[in-house]
């Protein structure tokens, strides 16, 4: 496998820098930074963290995966993306999503009545407001439903997928490939209590619950067994990454949870050696 990535969230800037350097040393090509600071108390600003990770590395591509689009004016997002592209020599990817009802309610933002239409307009506005400096930053879309996936792979440069089995990832991966777009998929790995807690939290979100219903998963235990690696089993992590790649995912990403930066770095080094 020549292309793989790492996802990381809710850690200090120093820890993200440590993980970014470890990811690059291990042979990973991408670092994905989900935005969680708007919905919880531990997350950082993904654009600022991306700047730190890009400055600390030489080849790693860093993506907001994904940033909450309704929280920012499109002009601001366009300038931030161009600035990071300029800083890194074109190693930044702008990942965007509509987020969730509870996040937008917490921020006092209106709930989109037509999420797909509004995100399409937002992406168009970001493109229209791109500054003259920096490169034409690729845009990826975090997608769950079929229509949002179709928009991502036909109108932008990539789709970010989450909580899918290799079998159910095959169809969106094929759409992305046919549309000339990237497909990144985040696979959680960590202690069972942590990944199962995450699974239960996502099952409680209406938009994710609809996705899980489509793939006939209704319990956290099912979700963990089919979409995560719940033990620190390096061989199984590599096996699952290969399974996603074989399904057509262009950037399978390991998402270590419940580990500090040093432990994550050790895990990435071992996984990288097995993937090399």
How far is the C-alpha of 57 from the C-alpha of 20, rounded, in Å? 7
Does domain 5-275 sit in CATH 1.10.1040.10?
no
Sole residue written with tokens 């580990």: 259
pLDDT at 169: 96
- Report angle CA 206, 210, 212 to the nearest 5 degrees: 115
CA distance to 207, 228, 238, 243, per residue, from 222 (Å): 18, 10, 20, 18
Could you tell me which residues come within 8 angstroms of residue 7 by beta carbon, excluding any fewer than 6 positions away?
31, 32, 33, 34, 65, 186, 253, 254, 255
pLDDT at 43: 80
Each domain of the chain, given as residue ranges in start order, spans: 5-275
**Count of alpha carbons within 13 Å of 83, Cβ hemisphere only?**
11
Sole residue written with tokens 């600035």: 83
Query: What dihedral do alpha carbons 107, 113, 115, 118 form, nearest 10°?
Result: -90
State CA 97 to chain mean position distance: 10
According to DSSP, residue 30 is labeled E
One pLDDT digit (tens) per residue for the chain, 276 residues: 789 999 998 889 999 999 999 999 999 999 999 987 676 667 899 999 999 999 999 999 999 999 999 989 999 999 999 999 999 999 999 999 987 667 767 767 777 889 999 999 999 999 999 999 988 899 999 999 999 999 999 999 999 999 999 999 999 999 999 999 999 999 999 999 999 999 999 999 888 888 898 888 999 999 999 999 987 799 999 999 999 999 999 999 999 999 999 999 999 999 999 999
pLDDT at 214: 83
Is the entire prediction scored with pTM above 0.75? yes
Strands 5-7 and 251-256: parallel
- Indicate the SS3 state at residue 42: coil
How far is the C-alpha of 230 from the C-alpha of 264, rounded, in Å? 15
CA-atom Rg of the chain in angstroms: 17
How far is the C-alpha of 21 from the C-alpha of 5, rounded, in Å? 13
Does an H or E element contain 6, and which? Answer: strand 5-7
- Crossing angle (nearest 10°) for helices 192-203 and 206-214: 100
How far is the C-alpha of 38 from the C-alpha of 202, rounded, in Å? 16
How far is the C-alpha of 170 from the C-alpha of 136, rounded, in Å? 29
């Amino acid at each position: 496998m020549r292309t793989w990535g790492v996802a990381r969230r809710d850690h200090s800037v120093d820890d993200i820098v440590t993980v970014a350097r470890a990811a690059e040393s291990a042979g990973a090509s991408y670092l994905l930074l989900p935005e969680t600071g708007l919905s919880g108390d531990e997350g950082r600003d993904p654009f600022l963290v991306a700047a730190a990770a890009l400055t600390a590395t030489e080849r790693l591509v860093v993506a907001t995966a994904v940033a909450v689009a309704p929280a920012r004016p499109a002009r601001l997002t366009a300038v931030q993306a161009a600035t990071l592209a300029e800083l890194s020599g074109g190693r930044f990817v702008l990942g965007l999503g509509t987020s969730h009802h509870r996040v937008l309610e917490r921020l006092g933002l209106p709930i989109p009545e037509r999420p797909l239409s509004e995100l399409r307009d937002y992406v168009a506005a970001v493109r229209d407001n791109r500054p003259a400096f920096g490169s034409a930053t690729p845009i990826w879309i975090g997608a769950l439903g079929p229509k949002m996936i179709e928009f991502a792979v036909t109108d932008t440069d990539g789709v970010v997928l989450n909580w899918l089995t290799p079998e159910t990832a095959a169809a969106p991966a094929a759409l992305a490939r046919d549309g000339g777009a990237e497909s990144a998929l985040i696979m959680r790995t960590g202690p069972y209590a942590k990944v199962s807690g995450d699974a239960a939290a996502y099952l409680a979100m209406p938009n994710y619950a609809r996705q899980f219903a489509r793939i006939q998963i209704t319990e956290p235990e099912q979700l963990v067994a089919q979409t995560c690696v719940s033990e620190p089993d390096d061989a199984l992590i590599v096996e699952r990454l290969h399974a996603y790649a074989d399904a057509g995912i262009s950037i399978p990403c390991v998402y270590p949870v419940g580990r500090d930066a040093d432990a994550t770095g050790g895990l990435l080094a071992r996984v990288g050696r097995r993937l090399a």
